[in-house]
Amino acid sequence: MVVLNKKAFKLPFMEREKFLLLMRLGLNYDKPSGTFCLKNFNNIEKLADTLAEILKVDEVTFTQTCAVCGKDFGCSDCKYLELCATKNLPFQCVCSECLREGKTFEDVG
Amino acid sequence: MVVEDEGVMWVEKYRPKTLDEVVDLKDIVESLKAFMRNPKTMPHLLLAGIPGTGKTTVALCIARELFGQNWRTFTLELNASDERGIDTVRDRVKDFSRYSRSAFGNVPFALIILDESDQMTGPAQTALRRIMETSSRTSRFILICNQSGKIIEPIQSRCAIFRFSKLDRKAMIEHLCCIAKKENVTLSPEAAERIVDYAEGDLRHAINALQTASAYKDGFVDEKIVSLVVGEASPIQVQLMIRKALFGDFIDARKKMYDLIGSFGFSGSEIVRQMQRELFKMSDLTPEQKADLANIIGEYDYRLTQGANSDIQLSALLAQFAKIGRAKGEAA
Amino acid sequence: MREDLLWVEKYRPKKIADVIGNEEAKAAFIEWLKNTRRTKKALLLYGPPGVGKTTLVNAAANEFGFRVVEMNASDTRSEKAINRVAGPATAFAALDTFTTESKGNVLFMDEVDGIAGNEDRGGVSTILRIIEDSRIPVIMAANDPDLEKLRPLKKVSALVRFHQVRIPMIIALLQKVCQREHVKAEFEALERIAENSRGDVRSAINDLQSLAETTKTLTLQDTVVLSARNRDVGMDETLREYFSVKSLLGASKLLSYLSVDYDDLLMAVGDNLPLRYTDPEDLAAAYDFVSRADMFRGRIGVENWHLLRYFFNSLAQAAAVSPESYQPFTLISPPIRVITLFWTKGKRTILDAICGKIGRRCHVSRATAKTDFIPFLKILLANQKADEVVSWFEFQPEEVEFLAKMSRL
């Protein structure tokens, strides 16, 4: 399993067709830095599967960003993992610390 | 020399390997041996009859007798219900004809055994006939089916037809006792009778039941154990479902239906197929009654292919049975 | 509860930033709104209920100052309605400048998937026409869509997908509401509400409110009622009305105003039919109609929605087989097909593979293996040392485990 940072990540060299497919599935490529980032989330599951194929791993997961404190974290330690309909996908979430401490959205700046 | 795997399942372990060992089908065996003496004259064969009566066994024996130890090299086994369509059948036959050696000794052809050929639709069978024709130089077909009436006439007319009938009780009991002895299993005569009752002429069922029963109490089989085993196996459940429906007990019959789907994962069509088989075996119904019920099954079999929900179609089918059952009860 | 006291209203987001979850969808939505060179003038927001699609549209309108003209796509007097409502003066350009002086209008159609399904009420073609005729942007919302139905709409629209709002997000939101409302709630209670809501923020807040109504301290115990409450009240009522119709006409009328999903209704009717009709002849007749309805339903695809008429017709006939025999009865709930849920595609694949192996060894078809061998193998493997059998068939460990599990069903 591989964890990718949705804001910028690198991929190994691939053929043009695969590259175009990734673009169609919602990625954006930044030439200067050579990194990909997520742009469109409509086909996120298919995208995750395709990336897993390219990276030759079982599963590709993305980091989550805490909506309250802003830090990045992964899904694997989340206690709601099995119940989550969007697990391992890069959507907004709340990290377990903020949740436990009852920090809500307004506590942020 | 190829060593044959003896087989852990008794149906395989004790399957006759030569035509001479197939004792209960004397007439059929005699005719076949005539063809085998001069293979060049052997036509396509159509083996027809209810399940568990020796058709596959005979086909495999023919293969062995024709080709000896390496019979597998010259034989293609196909199941019409497993293949996705006539095109896959055609492809496999073509590949087989192309890549296998199609002659061995004085046998100028390879063998293609096609089981469950009555499961094929009319158009598929027409295509099959053409396949049979185009590969007739290099192959002979042995078609196996339950109901020869479902095989189209052009194919029937190209085959020598052999009909397999229900094995008689004595023969079946003998088989079972023989196997029991070889496997060091104590089989009480009542138990053997019970197994044969349940099997209704299907030797495969009987042997499977025997093997399963003997696993319960390590080599000791009596009536009680047989009842236990047989009660858990699905063909009995299907029969029970039918009987309950005919008795007018719809809700219980439906419960049985859900059990079958839940415990065995059967699809609607699979349950219908079993109903057809079990119906045929039920000896307390008259042929007319069986025909009426078979018609209803046929109607809902069709509907299953059209509709989206097995639960609904099967329930409706059972409801029709309940209605007929009640009419039967009133008329009686 | 008075409307103005409803927490879903009180805490309804008035700004885009306040809509929780689906940040990405929000961003895509705003991008579409701001795009002066839009290629598609229609936008389809799709996703589970209660995640904020409609809320977002209104919040955006509030923030950017455009007017949302809500249009019920079932209104077949569409052309007049559009003109009346949207007016000839509105144009694309008005929406492109996001200042508070902007007076642009946006056409909004909610729940287009429900409407697209029913030929009587306009259908997809009407919606397409509305989109075509409109000179202002069109926004549509659909619930977790059977997107096949909506394919013509997808072709002409930009798509933005919404997902279930995540449990931690919902919990955080509930915590905020509790703070404001001075409700002391156990963390586990909020967890349970969030888990139960299936990503539907609206129902989570509603549940919180009704639970907190009677107590200012919410414990986990209090949330036990949630699972009971989630039973489909709408379906129960519909079924009762359905089974007690007095005539075919009455049945037809009932079905034309259906508020429940008609596939669910079909299954529920199938479940309960023998309770309604105790006479075998009536039951047989009624089931025959239900079976026909099921057949029609099975044939209905994107191209032939008109068959739906026959579906409802048959269903109506099933209800009216013998109105005089009606006696109230207790409905079967939950639906019986829960039993069949074990048989997922994955499970069927494993069973299929097992049958294939049996078939190869024993010279039978997969189907025969399933009916003639599996029942015995189940018992055999449960009762004796299985190693020989397993290795002869070359079963994988997961297949052996599967057979073992089957025995316990």
More confident residue, C9 or B328: C9
Does A93 lie at the interface with C, CB-CB under 8 angstroms? yes
> CATH classification of B234-331, choosing from 1.20.272.10, 3.40.50.2000, 1.20.1050.10, 1.10.238.10?
1.20.272.10
Q: Do domains B10-164 and B169-232 have the same CATH topology?
A: no
Chain A residues touching C180 at Cβ < 8 A: none
Indicate yes or no: CB of A91 within 8 angstroms of CB of C187.
Answer: no
pLDDT in tens, C75-95: 444 444 545 554 444 433 334
Indicate yes or no: CB of B315 within 8 angstroms of CB of C270.
Answer: yes
Which amino acid belongs to residue B71? Answer: W
Reply yes or no on whether the pLDDT at C336 is more than 50. Answer: yes
Pairwise CA distance, residues C140 & C124, whole Å? 12
Average of per-residue pLDDT across C106-135: 68
Does C405 lie at the interface with B, CB-CB under 8 angstroms? no
Instruction: Give the architecture-level CATH label for domain B169-232.
Output: Orthogonal Bundle (1.10)
pTM for the full model?
Answer: 0.54
pLDDT in tens, B305-328: 876 688 899 999 999 999 988 766
More confident residue, C100 or B319: B319
Cβ pairs bridging B and C (under 8 Å): 176
User: Which residues, numbered 223 to 282 in chain C, qualify as contacts with chain B under a Cβ-Cβ cut-off of 8 Å?
Assistant: 266-267, 270, 273-274, 280-281
Does C335 lie at the interface with B, CB-CB under 8 angstroms? no
Judge residue C68's burial from the number of C-beta atoms within 10 Å of its C-beta, 0-12 exposed, 13-18 middle, 19 or more buried.
middle
How wide is the angle at C-alpha B65 spanned by C-alphas B60 and B68, nearest 5°?
100
Q: Which of C21, C159, C173 sits opposite A42 (nearest CB)?
A: C159
Of A89-103, C15-29, C109-123, C312-326, least confident by mean pLDDT is C109-123
Chain C residues touching A107 at Cβ < 8 A: none
| Cα dihedral sign, B183-B227-B11-C400 | negative
The subunits that touch chain A, with at least 3 C-beta pairs less than 8 Å apart, are C
Pairwise CA distance, residues C3 & B326, whole Å? 57
Task: Extract the runs of DSSP E, i.e. beta strands, from B81-227.
Answer: 110-115, 139-145, 159-164, 186-187, 220-221
Does C287 lie at the interface with B, CB-CB under 8 angstroms? yes
State the average pLDDT for chain A.
Answer: 81
Distance of CA C409 to the CA centre of its chain: 29
pLDDT category at C285 given cuts 50, 70, 90 is: very high
Pairwise CA distance, residues C151 & C146, whole Å? 9
Residue B255 is inside which H or E element, if any? helix B250-264
Average of per-residue pLDDT across C145-149: 61
> Domain residue spans in chain A?
2-60, 63-109
pLDDT of residue C79: 45
Does C173 lie at the interface with A, CB-CB under 8 angstroms? yes
The subunits that touch chain B, with at least 3 C-beta pairs less than 8 Å apart, are C
To test the contact with chain C by mutation, choose from A39, A65, A92 the residue with the greatest count of C C-beta atoms within 10 A, namely A92
pLDDT of residue B223: 85
The encoded tokens of residue C147 equal 């997107």
Q: Which of B79, B254, B312 sits opposite C294 (nearest CB)?
A: B312
Chain A residues touching C30 at Cβ < 8 A: none
More confident residue, C50 or C124: C50
C-alpha distances (whole Å) from B26 to each of B13, B44, B133, C389 are: 22, 20, 30, 33
pLDDT of residue C148: 64
Chain B residues touching C364 at Cβ < 8 A: 56, 79, 115
**Quick check: A81 and A44 in contact, CB under 8 A?**
no
Does C283 lie at the interface with B, CB-CB under 8 angstroms? yes
Does C25 lie at the interface with A, CB-CB under 8 angstroms? yes
The encoded tokens of residue C204 equal 């989570």
Q: State yes or no: chains A and B have 3 or more CB pairs below 8 A.
A: no
Does C184 lie at the interface with A, CB-CB under 8 angstroms? no
pLDDT of residue C216: 76
**Quick check: B242 and B278 in contact, CB under 8 A?**
yes
**Quick check: C70 and C110 in contact, CB under 8 A?**
yes
Q: Which of C336, C361, C366 sits opposite B258 (nearest CB)?
A: C336
pLDDT of residue C342: 62
Long-range contact set of residues B186-189: C-beta below 8 Å, sequence gap at least 24: B186/B219, B186/B220, B186/B221, B187/B214, B187/B221, B188/B221, B188/B222, B188/B223
Alpha helices in B68-168, H assignment, sequence order: 86-99, 122-134, 153-156
pLDDT in tens, A45-61: 778 878 887 888 777 88
3-state secondary structure of B151: coil
Q: Which CATH class is domain B10-164?
A: alpha beta
Portion of chain C with pLDDT greater than 70, in percent: 78
pLDDT of residue C36: 63
Does A28 lie at the interface with C, CB-CB under 8 angstroms? no
Indicate yes or no: CB of B82 within 8 angstroms of CB of C366.
Answer: yes
Chain C residues touching B265 at Cβ < 8 A: 342-343, 347-348, 351, 370, 406
SS3 content of chain C, % helix, strand, coil (to 5): 60, 5, 30
Chain C residues touching A68 at Cβ < 8 A: 172
Residue labelled with tokens 């009624």: C286
Q: Which of C274, C339, C383 sits opposite B215 (nearest CB)?
A: C383
- Search chain A and give the residue with CA nearest C196: A83
Q: Which of A67, A80, A103 sits opposite C167 (nearest CB)?
A: A80
Reply yes or no on whether the pLDDT at C121 is more than 70. Answer: no
Q: Report CA Rg, chain C.
A: 27
Q: Report CA Rg, chain B.
A: 22
> Domain residue spans in chain C?
3-161, 167-229, 233-335, 345-407
- Search chain C and give the residue with CA nearest B230: C376
pLDDT of residue B130: 82
Q: φ and ψ at C163, to 5 degrees?
A: -115, 165
To test the contact with chain C by mutation, choose from A86, A88, A103, A108 the residue with the greatest count of C C-beta atoms within 10 A, namely A86
**Quick check: C74 and C256 in contact, CB under 8 A?**
no
Residue B239 is inside which H or E element, if any? helix B234-246
More confident residue, C237 or B218: C237
Low-confidence ranges of chain B (pLDDT < 50): 1-4, 330-332
Pairwise CA distance, residues C291 & C311, whole Å? 10
The encoded tokens of residue B267 equal 């699809």
Reply yes or no on whether the pLDDT at A109 is more than 50. Answer: no
State the average pLDDT for chain B.
Answer: 84
Distance of residue C234 Cα from the nearest chain B Cα, in angstroms: 22
Cα end-to-end distance, chain C, whole Å? 46
Measuring CA to CA, which residue among B314, B244, B293, B271 is closest to residue C273?
Answer: B314
**Quick check: B110 and B74 in contact, CB under 8 A?**
yes
The encoded tokens of residue B227 equal 């009842």
More confident residue, C138 or C343: C138
Indicate yes or no: CB of C290 within 8 angstroms of CB of B316.
Answer: yes
Residue B150 DSSP code = G
Please state at what angle helix A44-55 crosses helix A16-25, rounded to 10 degrees: 150
Distance of CA B137 to the CA centre of its chain: 29
The domain over range C167-229 is classified in CATH as 1.10.8.60: yes
pLDDT of residue C280: 92
The subunits that touch chain C, with at least 3 C-beta pairs less than 8 Å apart, are A, B
To test the contact with chain C by mutation, choose from A27, A44, A84 the residue with the greatest count of C C-beta atoms within 10 A, namely A84
Q: Which CATH class is domain C3-161?
A: alpha beta
Reply yes or no on whether the pLDDT at A36 is more than 80. Answer: yes
State the average pLDDT for chain C.
Answer: 78
> In this structure, are strands A72-73 and A64-65 parallel, antiparallel, or unpaired?
antiparallel
Half-sphere exposure of B1 (CA within 13 A, CB side): 2
**Quick check: C104 and C136 in contact, CB under 8 A?**
yes
pLDDT of residue C227: 56
